[in-house]
Amino acid sequence: MLNPIQSQLNEIIEDLRPFSLDIYGEDGAREGVLRPVTVAHLNDQEIVQRLTDWRIQHMEKFLSHFVATPDRTRSWMRNVLLKMQGQMLFLVCVNDQVVGHFGFKNLTASEVLLDNALRGERGGHPKLFVWAGQTLVEWLFHAAAVQRVYAYVLADNVTSIMMNKQIGFGGWWRHPLSKCVREGDICWDMGPEGATSAEGRYCFKLLIERSPVLLERAEVTCLSQLSQKE
């Protein structure tokens, strides 16, 4: 079931509704901003190239491995990211410098997958992506009214494990990964919880459930700008 805010997300993606989320640190200071990737970025060669370069540099941190090119990145943006319902990718910006991205997908009326966190450049506070993740979680609880936010992290990605712990994820259910090749691309498919991986590779499923504490902080730090243009 689609989330009630999907129509508003569509307007943001189509550049019909200005939108961004401020990122605040633990002391309440503004540390950066999350800006959504929209149809306008299809013609932004710099952003397309950065997304491509970052994917090449950090391919091992993803479950799919392929030859990344600007044309392939733009095709993914047009036909997947900006077309499929229930997902959005944000550029993480510090003083107008784009340093990475963070997003979500599989948004339903009750839950959502936090996804695609990647720091591509130096810049900003060392905990910037922890706070960016918390900002997204809080906004999804407040604006989309989901009950659960979940995520997946590779068991050998220590940096991501530490970041997700600081964001507030718990659970840590282990799933096996199996290697497959599809049309020349390597994909790591996820198996059932508790099973064994023939290749010895695993990932964890993480979870944050909605709570009054998170909602209270969301009211303070990232009240939805979705209503600003109503």
Vertex 119 angle, CA 114 and 122, to 5°: 155
Overall average pLDDT of the 187-202 stretch: 96
The owner of tokens 């009240």 is: 223
Pairing of strands 170-182, 201-209: antiparallel
Residues 67 and 155: their CA atoms lie apart, in Å, by 24
Mean pLDDT estimate for the chain:
92
The pLDDT assigned to 212 comes to 60
Domain residue limits, the chain: 6-223
Pairing of strands 21-24, 64-65: unpaired
Using one digit for the tens of pLDDT, what is the confidence trace for 8-67?
Answer: 999 999 999 999 999 999 999 999 999 999 999 999 999 999 999 999 999 999 999 999
Using one digit for the tens of pLDDT, what is the confidence trace for 104-133?
Answer: 999 999 999 999 999 999 999 999 999 999
- pLDDT tops 80 at residue 228: no
- pLDDT tops 70 at residue 207: yes
Q: Do 137 and 168 form a contact (C-beta atoms < 8 A)?
A: yes
The pLDDT assigned to 126 comes to 96
- pLDDT tops 90 at residue 219: no
Pairing of strands 30-36, 88-94: antiparallel
Percentage of the chain exceeding pLDDT 70: 92
The CATH superfamily label for domain 6-223 reads Gcn5-related N-acetyltransferase (GNAT) (3.40.630.30)
Q: Do 48 and 71 form a contact (C-beta atoms < 8 A)?
A: no
The pLDDT assigned to 213 comes to 52
210: how many CB neighbours lie within 10 A of its CB?
19
Overall average pLDDT of the 184-188 stretch: 93
